[in-house]
Structure 1
Amino acid sequence: MTRTQTPPRTHRIALLFNANKVYDREIITGIGNYLLSTRVAWDLFLEEDFRCRLEGIERFDGDGIIADFDDPAVCEALSDCALPVVAVGSSYEDASQYPPGLPYIATDNPKLVSLAFTHLIGAGLQRFAFYSLPEAPENRWAQQRELAFTHLLNAEGLDVEINRGLPTSAPGWNKASEQLAAWLKDLPKPVGIIAVTDARARHLLQACLMAGIAVPEEVAIIGIDNDPLTRTLTRIPLSSVIQGTEEMGRTAAHLLHQMLHGARFPGRRILVPPVGINVLESTKHQPLSSPYVMRARHFIRQYACQGIRTEQVADYVGVSRSSLEEYFRRELQCTVHQEILRHKLDAAKTMLAKRDASSAEVAIRCGFTSLQYMYAVFRRELGCTPREYQERAKSSAAPG
């Protein structure tokens, strides 16, 4: 007689995160990956924005909670919760800032900022600034990144320049952008700026475009989050530090899984380092002596895929085509047309590698005058057709 195996108990778990934020979404993804890899049976309670349902959460009729403790309201709501709770959030220089008695999974702020700072130094920059958020209880994590930046620059004997800007809202957006543009104009250049998030990095980039400041020749910008949405909203692709958010989610789920079976980790803190940097155009700083070439490349980065020609670039810069061509030959050893074409080719390669786009669609979106012309450029520059390039990119990205 065969014995039937009792199925594992299903636990009811609340995830208190704001699914509208990329940081929270990736932590949730890490939790989900842990469940898939271990086949743990959890029923998940998850709102798009938990703050809408935070009242009464301490009476949640479930088995455990994983929560974003960067929000002070969460700390207060769960301070007397009888259920097993795993906290997730910012690291803190002052240990008293952590919630007492709870296991805590933290993003390592000093390492995030250090990685961005080291990248900017490697790009040849010697002046640095930090664009943060206004001081507020819900922005404690941002102030921790400011502290990390201050410690790094003090250790190097460099001036510390921090701008917290204004809160961004629809009515105050123009004022915030104008104030930011004025700050950027006053900064000694070239300068590398670390933004506390990708959203703030995008704000910086927009202010640079509004003020006519060349990115990255005059201002190199790096954010934190590696948010794919932000990349689609900017004319110049933004470099960004990739947080270890999925690992944070997996670790939090692993701890809670153990706690549901009797383990306890009071006051345990685990700092998760960043994964790396997604290096894109906004920090590919190349010192140039000609302001005309800087302005020209700034214009090309934004509009190469819109089919611009050399004459339009020269008009933007305010010099004759022949003069601009001479400046390009001296500084970059190429023509203006070749620089435009390089940006189109890079954009086409990125599109082909990341999605199943047709060659015709890529040609249109990247500003090639015809599909045949794009084929000719790929064969001349890369020795393959666009489709062959796409297949190579897929095979190299496939797990071994």
Structure 2
Amino acid sequence: MKPHILLVFITRFEECQAMLKGIVHYERLHHPWTFFLDDEARAESDPTWLRSQKWHGAISRHTTASLVRTCAELKLPLVDLNDTAPFPGTPKIRPDNIAIGHLGAEHLLERGFRTLGFYGFANEGWARERREGFLEAVTLAGQSARLLEVEYPGDLTPAWEKEQISMLVAWLGQMPRPAAVMACNDMQALHVLTAAQNLGLHVPEELAVIGANNDLNRCDLSRPGLSSVAVNAFQSGYQAAECLDALMSKRKPESFDRRIDPLSVVMRQSTDILAINDKVVASALNFIREHACRGITVDQVLRQVFASRSVLEKKFRAHLGRSPQAEIRRVQVAKISQLLYETDFPLKKIAELTGFEHVEYLCVVFKRLTGEAPGAYRKRVQSAA
């Protein structure tokens, strides 16, 4: 008989969907299981519901003391994927939050920013760990950072969000510019972007912003697009299934608190810049990032910033090491790369969305700048996801 596995995941969360893919991938490579998806997380608070069926194992993203206690009474192996303090005796798999903070800080430092800040939750362990990783990386680089931490209420309301944005406006308003801020997650990073908009700041020219978790629904819907540290939720799910397999076979897990390394920084427009004090270059970069994928020319950029071609060329090469035309192409290719990774759009559609009249020319430009044809790039990055 196939083991009957309970999965406690609220599937409206993108991270949960990726974890489930990792679990299924492990199952297909190893032992056949049957699954029940508790996508209302009833098991976390209803012991009677949990006792109503015979289970051989459980994996939960929404683990509570009640769930742990009932599983222990039933002698039901349980693996916990919640990013909270571990329950004694229950194997936990969670992101390496210190590494997430490190990656965010390193990305901002690489962009040349020296005025740095971190915005997070003072009462959440995972957020404090991300803060510590951020501060450690900043300190190792010989820099310092400003902190703004608030209490997470557990229930988000419009009134609470309004209060946070007011606090952020006051905090950001005191920062020398250009500045860069990492938020503990993407939701908080969106608050930073809203506060920047209220202050009339250009993002990323005057304020760069990066979040964490790479929640596509938030990152791509924001304006500008939000850079974020991507967690490896797929690997978390895979290792949770591996751990549960060991428990059901009466083997002791290698670790009762595994930390999963983040994947990388997914750079979008909110940090797609080097820290530059030159207003002409900053204005030109802002215009290029907003309009490159509409097929703009350098002449259009010149009309926007009221500079001659020779002056703009000289300034771009001094600050960026490339020409305005090369910057336009770089922004277009970055968008092409994103669309190849995140969508199944045909190349004709991608060409329309990135300012290329002909697919053939898109392919030439993409291969010249990346070394790969678009099709080969898509196959490689999507197979690795």
TM-score (norm. length: structure 1)? 0.76
Write out aligned runs for 1:1-400 (5 A).
9-42=1-34, 44-50=35-41, 54-56=45-47, 59=51, 61=53, 62-68=55-61, 74-81=64-71, 82=73, 83-90=76-83, 97-133=85-121, 135=123, 139-153=124-138, 158-164=143-149, 168-265=156-253, 268-306=256-294, 320=306, 322=307, 325=309, 328-333=312-317, 339-340=327-328, 342-348=330-336, 350-351=338-339, 355-367=343-355, 371-372=357-358, 379=364, 389-394=373-378
Q: Does 254-263 or 337-346 show the bigger shift?
A: 337-346
Q: Distance in 2 between matches of 1:122 and 1:152?
A: 12
Tell me which amino acid in the other structure corresponds to 1:263: R
The DSSP-based 3-state class of the residue aligned with 2:6 is strand
Q: Distance in 1 between matches of 2:365 and 2:99?
A: 42
Q: Alpha-carbon deviations, 1:25-79, whole Å to 9, x = none?
A: 222221111111113323x23233416973235535322221236x6xx134423
Give the conservation status (yes or no) of the 8 Å contact 2:21–2:237.
yes
How many residue pairs get aligned? The number is 370
Comparing 251-260 with 120-129, which one deviates more in the overlay?
A: 120-129
Identity of aligned residues (%): 25
Where structure 2 has 5 or more consecutive residues not aligned to the other structure, the ranges are none
For structure 1, list consecutive stretches of 5 or more residues without a partner in the other structure: 1-8, 92-96
Deviations 1:321-365 (A, max 9, x none): x46x56522321477676556534543454356544345433433
Indicate if the aligned counterparts of 1:352 and 1:389 stay in contact, CA closer than 8 A.
Answer: no
Answer yes or no: is the 8 Å Cα contact 2:68–2:90 preserved in 1: no
Measured in 1, the distance between the counterparts of 2:61 and 2:344 equals: 36
Q: 1:209 to 1:301 in 2, by over 3 A?
A: farther
Preserved CA contact (<8 Å) 1:134 1:164? yes
Conserved in 2, the CA contact under 8 Å of 1:101 and 1:266? Answer: no
Find the residue that maps to 2:188 and give its secondary structure. Answer: helix
In the TM superposition, what is the alpha-carbon distance from 1:142 to its structure 2 partner? Answer: 1.8
Question: Which whole-Å CA distance do the structure 1 matches of 2:43 and 2:33 have between them?
Answer: 26
Match of 2:292, SS state, is helix
Question: What is the RMSD computed on CA atoms of the aligned residues?
Answer: 3.8
Preserved CA contact (<8 Å) 2:98 2:131: no
2:289 counterpart SS class: helix
Distance 2:350 2:25 in 1: 33
Matches of 1:265 and 1:151, distance apart in 2:
31
Measure, in 1, the Cα distance between the counterparts of 2:258 and 2:43: 29
One-letter code aligned to 1:187: M
CA contact (8 A) 1:64 1:85 kept: yes
The separation in 1 between residues aligned to 2:5 and 2:29, in whole angstroms, is 17
Give the Cα separation in 1 of the matches to 2:87 and 2:328: 53
Partner SS, residue 78 of structure 1: helix
Distance 1:392 1:125, change over 3 A: same
Q: 2:106–2:137: 8 Å Cα contact kept in structure 1? A: no
